[in-house]
Amino acid sequence: MTVWQQGATLELTIDSLNHTGEGVGRWQDRVVFVADTVPGDRLRVRLTHVKRQYAHGKVLEVVQPSEQRVRPSCIVADKCGGCQWQCVAYGAQLAAKEQLVKEAIARIGHLEPQTFLPILAAPNPLGYRNKVTYPLGRRHGAVVAGYYQKGSHHLVNLNQCPVQDPRLNPLLTVLKQALQPWPIYNEQTHEPGLRHLGLRIGQRTGEQLITLVLAGTLPAGLQAEAAGWLQQFQGVVGVCVNFNHQVGNRIFGDETQVLAGRPYLWEEMAGLRFQIAATTFFQVNTAQAEQLVTTLREWIAPTGHERLLDLYCGVGTLSLPLAGAVAEVIGVEVHPASVQQAIANSQHNGIHNARFLCAKAEEWLPQFNQIVDVLILDPPRKGCDRPVLDAILRNRPPRILYVSCHPATLARDLAYLCATGAYQLTKIQPLDMFPQTAHVETVALLTIS
């Protein structure tokens, strides 16, 4: 007889995938979460962490593989914490993401959209990432770079990564060699040194930017080495160093310095050129960022008279492509370098009806009492702070387009905005910005009731 306790083995079938990427199966009336599994898999599982109603398990044997199980395109897929769904067929990934958004809206938001649109698939389920930031370490004297192993701080050393733009693969291997003589940060002792390697590419221009994140002072000679990389690698337009002396998981510090070339690259998206620097936010999948802008444009259907407010605007990715079709754009963003680039981007693209302000949305919006016709919200994963939502309920812009990378906080915020009856949830559009992972982007349209 199987006992519900740690170490017990049992057989079950995976029914679905959850928001952390684990497969979800049932044993009697209890739930078991198992990583690296696929809906339809029949598995023998060992229970690892056991609670009364649920447990986590580890695969001992795939008794009968699901028809949706595929061979991962990555040789370290079972170890690397970067992707969760390399073994899941792309169609099944899309179905799972759609379901995750539906469930969050229903269970957390207690809402039912008038229209729930099918997820927009990525044209590029591999090789899509235009930006990667790898922690660095040293193992047996050699520099290692990669993502952390699932659930740990152990680096899985990578020489290539199938989800990053393939043009970044040669840079990763050669730079690991080139960094060999330089001090590498020690996470345990906090000994100073290089702690992250950032690579960015303008997917439409081919321009590449290398960023080294450093704890401590700039080692003599590193600048000359960086100048050499500019000559050595075709496509590299700049090498930067970002100083982060803080202990903890935050990747970038506040100060960035150019070591060679320029501090930004150019990318093309939705008919515009965007300047993107080492630490500024830009959607990691250029093709899908474009689909996102297309969705916003279709939903807004601008007449040329709108005042559009873009809260959490970054470098203006979502609103600048719409500026030519509306009367005015106002963008608000907390990161000074992003605001500078949003301004530079509007000037470079000949846009004269957009202005960008550096402020915290939760401090700025409650002071802003002007009429807005369309509000774009694209906050970080934690969603909008309460003062932002309260200010929206006071100002009541007739249309809100909420862009989110976290269905749970999206559902929570939509529920708050709809609770008073001020707004109704008109449309939901999931979009796959991050293939091979459990992450999903969603656009929601709220209209005034």
Ligand X SMILES: C[S@@+](CC[C@H](N)C(=O)[O-])C[C@H]1O[C@@H](n2cnc3c(N)ncnc32)[C@H](O)[C@@H]1O
Q: Which is nearer to ligand X, 137 or 379 (CB)?
A: 379
Closest approach, Cβ 280 to ligand X, in A, equals 7
Give how many residues touch ligand X by CB under 6 A: 19
Closest approach, Cβ 389 to ligand X, in A, equals 13
Reply yes or no on whether 405 is catalytic.
yes
Residues linked to residue 24 through DSSP beta bridges, in sequence order: 16, 33
| Core vs surface per residue 93-124: b (16+ CB within 10 A) or e | bbbbbbbbbbbbbeebbebebeebeebbbbeb
Closest approach, Cβ 20 to ligand X, in A, equals 20
What are the residues whose beta carbons fall under 8 Å from the beta carbon of 147, sequence distance 6 or more?
Answer: 80, 81, 82, 134, 135, 155, 156, 158
* Total residues belonging to the chain: 449
Among 177, 255, 380, 448, binds ligand X (CB under 6 A): 380
Separation of alpha carbons 51 and 56, rounded Å: 9
What are the residues whose beta carbons fall under 8 Å from the beta carbon of 157, sequence distance 6 or more?
Answer: 139, 144, 145, 146
| Core vs surface per residue 190-224: b (16+ CB within 10 A) or e | eebbbbbbbbbbbbbeebbbbbbbbbbeebeebee
Closest approach, Cβ 362 to ligand X, in A, equals 6
Among 22, 98, 333, 441, binds ligand X (CB under 6 A): 333
Q: Which is nearer to ligand X, 33 or 282 (CB)?
A: 282
Residue 274 engages ligand X in binding (rule: CB under 6 A): no
Residue 281 engages ligand X in binding (rule: CB under 6 A): yes
Residues linked to residue 184 through DSSP beta bridges, in sequence order: 194
State the catalytic residue, choosing from 80, 161, 240, 405: 405
Binding positions for ligand X, 350-369, rule CB under 6 A: 360-362
Q: Which is nearer to ligand X, 98 or 362 (CB)?
A: 362
Q: Taking CB positions, which residue lies at the least distance from ligand X?
A: 314
Strands 272-277 and 264-269, sheet pairing = antiparallel
Binding positions for ligand X, 300-319, rule CB under 6 A: 312-314, 317-318
Residue 83 engages ligand X in binding (rule: CB under 6 A): no
What would the two tokens of residue 60 be?
């001992």
Residue 278 engages ligand X in binding (rule: CB under 6 A): no
Separation of alpha carbons 16 and 24, rounded Å: 5
Asked whether residue 283 is marked as a ligand-binding residue, the answer is yes
Closest approach, Cβ 148 to ligand X, in A, equals 22
Asked whether residue 312 is marked as a ligand-binding residue, the answer is yes
Residue 378 engages ligand X in binding (rule: CB under 6 A): yes
What are the residues whose beta carbons fall under 8 Å from the beta carbon of 59, sequence distance 6 or more?
Answer: 34, 36, 37, 43, 44, 45
Which residues carry a binding-site annotation for S-adenosyl-L-methionine? 283, 312, 333, 378
- Interacting residue ranges for ligand X, rule: CB under 6 A: 281-283, 312-314, 317-318, 332-335, 338, 360-362, 378-380
Catalytic residues: 405
